């Protein structure tokens, strides 16, 4: 008999089927035992009569054969009767470190992450990564449909795209290399190679010492780069369009998982915008918060998120026109105010999830900018030489996938949105 998944059983009422999964919950009523079976698709109730069945414990892996019978009170509105159960993999624990079958895991985050495989069996936790899967799928579908080519760039690099010391060194034969902070240089090079529009779903690495609820040292970056743009407004427009698409498809592809987390998605509409200068003036006026020129800290992001939500109803806000000193060397300066760049961040519920902007596409301007930033252009020859051969006006952005997942599902810590998080303390499991 071929295996049937729990969610498929409803279509087989009256038939005998075979199920495989884990014992999620047991309720012994003497001559009746109710077994809640869990597989990758969900839960289904199994009714065992008498005592002529193997001893069962939570998380035992079993196979069940029985008849599908309608029951409006059971998960999926069906249950399995006349059932026979067979243990196919026993458990060997004294006690479960996590309450996998609870509606919500009450144990602390360290315990959850130390027992990550077990915690991922919880339907609530399991659902986080089904949603994340659909975010990534929607990202791919949206940009492929608009003429973007998916690329995969190196994660071992000679120099950092963002500069600074926030890089993980790697012993690379007789040389020193680094884990890539970003695919930035390669995205631009692929635009210059004639692909014009590219995107990537890949890991990025930041050797930051921040040990906060919003930082990871390894994360999934959803990167976009496009050529022949007019300016940064084209980039904000296409990201806005993507988010509207994402929020329209997620209820269709993972509505049950969103409901588990109490999330109802609404069309983001036209995302409001503020320049950094305007945002700083607003923060000072509304909240008495003063910041150094061009700087927006974590508290400021939360305050801006609250203000925009109250005034416009939007969960999103584009911050624009960051100073040259606050952006990487390749950021394009504004023609009418060269101290500012054609760049932006996107805040979602008071947290930055995107950084982007127009890039410099002229060789001499980029060469001079590198020198002004104290960089040696010769160290970046593989990248800089690209601009000798004609590169169109271009730009892009990167969305932090775990941050987007975290904010969308209202999670308390970004580690909850990472399968096996890497931070300043954690390299296992």
pLDDT digits (tens, 9 = 90+) for 227-241: 999 999 999 999 999
For the chain, helix, strand, coil in percent to 5 are 35, 30, 40
Say how far apart CA 34 and CA 23 lie, in whole Å. 10
What is the maximal distance between C-alpha atoms in the chain? 84
Partnered with residue 17 across adjacent β-strands are 66
Average pLDDT, stretch 94-109?
A: 94
What pTM value is reported for the model? 0.96
The DSSP secondary-structure symbol of 115 reads: T
Q: Is 20 annotated to bind ligand? A: no
In CATH terms, are 6-89 and 123-417 the same topology? no
- 163 within 8 A of 376, measured Cβ to Cβ: no
Exposure string over 123-156, b if 16+ CB within 10 A, otherwise e: bbbbbbebbbebbbebbeebbeeeebeebebeee
Is residue 312 classed as helix, strand or coil in its secondary structure? helix
Report whether 162 belongs to an annotated binding site.
Answer: yes
**Would you say 207 is a known binding-site residue?**
yes
> Which residue, among 100, 101, 129, has the nearest Cα to 112 in the 3D structure?
100
- Tokens 């300043």 sit at which residue? 424
| Rounded distance between C-alpha atoms, residue 423 and residue 211, angstroms | 7
Mean of all residue pLDDT scores within the chain: 96
Residue 159's pLDDT is what?
Answer: 79
Query: Any idea what the Cα angle at residue 418 is, between residues 75 and 411, rounded to 5°?
Result: 65
How crowded is residue 294: how many other Cβ atoms within 10 Å of its Cβ?
Answer: 18
Contact call for residues 357 and 341 (beta carbons, < 8 A): yes
2 is in an annotated binding site: no
Residues near 141 by Cβ (< 8 Å), separated by ≥ 6?
none
Q: Which residue has tokens 């624009």?
A: 320
394 is in an annotated binding site: no
The phi, psi pair for 61, rounded to 5°, reads: -90, 125
User: How far apart are alpha carbons 349 and 179 in whole angstroms?
Assistant: 30
Residue 206 labelled as part of a binding site? yes
CA distance 418 to 406: 9
Per-residue pLDDT of 362-384, as tens digits, reads 999 999 999 999 999 998 999 99
Q: Which of 245, 246, 271 is nearest to 356 (CA)?
A: 271
pLDDT in tens, 146-205: 999 999 999 999 877 666 668 999 999 999 999 999 999 999 999 999 999 999 999 999
Residue spans per domain, the chain: 6-89, 123-417
Q: What is the pLDDT, as a whole number, of residue 163?
A: 61
Residue 392's nearest CA partner among 344, 358, 369 is 358
Look up residue 334 and give its DSSP letter: P
Is-contact 190 179, C-beta < 8 A? no
Annotated binding residue 9: no
pLDDT digits (tens, 9 = 90+) for 18-52: 999 999 999 999 899 999 999 999 999 999 999 88
For position 151, what pLDDT does the model report?
98
Q: Which alpha helices (H) appear in 298-377, and where do they start and end? A: 298-312, 363-372
In angstroms, rounded to a whole number, what is the distance separating the alpha carbons of residues 79 and 73? Answer: 9
The answer to whether 54 and 86 have CB atoms below 8 angstroms apart is: yes
pLDDT tens digits along 235-291: 999 999 999 999 999 999 999 999 999 999 999 999 999 999 999 999 999 999 999
Give the DSSP letter string of 6-27: GGGGGGGTTSEEEEEEEEEEEE
Determine if residue 59 is labeled as part of a ligand binding site. Answer: no
Is residue 225 marked as binding?
no
Topology annotation, domain 123-417: BirA Bifunctional Protein; domain 2 (3.30.930)
Task: Please tell us whether the domain made up of 6-89 is placed in CATH 2.40.50.140.
Answer: yes
Beta bridge partners of 18: 3, 65
291 labelled ligand-binding: no
Instruction: Dump strand ranges (E) for 147-275.
Output: 149-150, 156-157, 169-172, 175-179, 197-205, 218-227, 273-275
Q: Do strands 316-320 and 273-275 pair parallel, antiparallel, or not at all (unpaired)?
A: parallel
Q: How far apart are CA 264 and CA 252, in angstroms?
A: 12
Backbone φ and ψ of 216, nearest 5°: -130, 155
Take residue 137 and report the two structure tokens written for it.
Answer: 């799928």
> Which helix (H) or strand (E) segment is 118 a member of?
helix 116-119
In this prediction, residue 67 has a pLDDT band, given cuts at 50, 70 and 90, of: very high
Question: Measured between alpha carbons, how far is 392 from 411 in angstroms, rounded to an integer?
Answer: 40
| Helix/strand/coil for 65 | strand
């Amino acid at each position: 008999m071929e295996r049937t998944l729990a969610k498929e059983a409803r279509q087989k009422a009256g038939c005998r089927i075979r199920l495989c999964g884990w014992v999620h919950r047991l309720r012994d009523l003497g001559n009746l035992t109710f077994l809640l079976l869990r597989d990758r698709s969900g839960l289904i109730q199994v009714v065992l009569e008498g005592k002529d069945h193997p001893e069962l414990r939570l998380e035992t892996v079993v196979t069940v054969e029985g008849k599908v019978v309608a029951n409006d009170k059971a998960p999926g509105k069906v249950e399995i009767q006349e059932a026979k159960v067979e243990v196919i993999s026993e458990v060997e624990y004294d006690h479960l470190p996590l309450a996998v079958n609870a509606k919500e895991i009450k144990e602390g985050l360290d315990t959850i992450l130390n027992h990550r495989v077990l915690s991922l069996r919880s339907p609530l936790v399991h659902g986080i990564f089904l949603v994340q899967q659909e975010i990534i799928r929607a990202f791919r579908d949206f940009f492929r449909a608009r003429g973007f080519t998916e690329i995969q760039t190196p994660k071992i690099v000679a120099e950092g795209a963002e500069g600074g010391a926030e890089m993980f060194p790697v012993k690379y034969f007789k040389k020193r290399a680094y884990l890539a902070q970003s695919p930035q240089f390669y995205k631009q090079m692929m635009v210059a190679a004639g692909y014009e529009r590219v995107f990537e779903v890949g890991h990025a690495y930041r050797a930051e010492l921040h040990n906060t609820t919003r930082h990871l040292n390894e994360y999934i970056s959803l990167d976009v780069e496009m050529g022949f743009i007019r300016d940064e407004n084209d980039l904000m427009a296409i990201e806005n369009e993507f988010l509207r698409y994402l929020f329209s498809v997620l209820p269709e592809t993972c509505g049950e998982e969103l409901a588990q987390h109490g999330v109802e998605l609404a069309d983001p509409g036209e995302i409001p915008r503020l320049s950094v200068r305007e945002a700083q003036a607003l923060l000072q006026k509304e909240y008495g918060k003063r910041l150094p020129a061009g700087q927006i800290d974590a508290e400021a992001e939360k305050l801006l998120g609250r203000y925009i939500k109250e005034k416009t109803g939007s969960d999103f806000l584009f911050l624009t026109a960051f100073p040259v000193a606050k952006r990487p060397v390749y950021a394009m300066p504004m023609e009418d105010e060269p101290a500012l760049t054609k760049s932006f961040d996107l805040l979602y519920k008071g947290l930055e999830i995107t950084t982007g902007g127009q890039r410099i596409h002229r060789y001499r301007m980029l060469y001079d900018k590198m020198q002004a930033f104290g960089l040696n252009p010769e160290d970046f020859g593989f990248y800089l030489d690209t601009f000798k051969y004609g590169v169109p006006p271009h730009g892009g952005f990167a969305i932090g996938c775990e941050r987007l997942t975290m904010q969308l599902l209202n999670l308390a810590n970004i580690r909850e949105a990472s399968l096996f998080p890497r931070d300043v303390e954690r390299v296992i499991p």
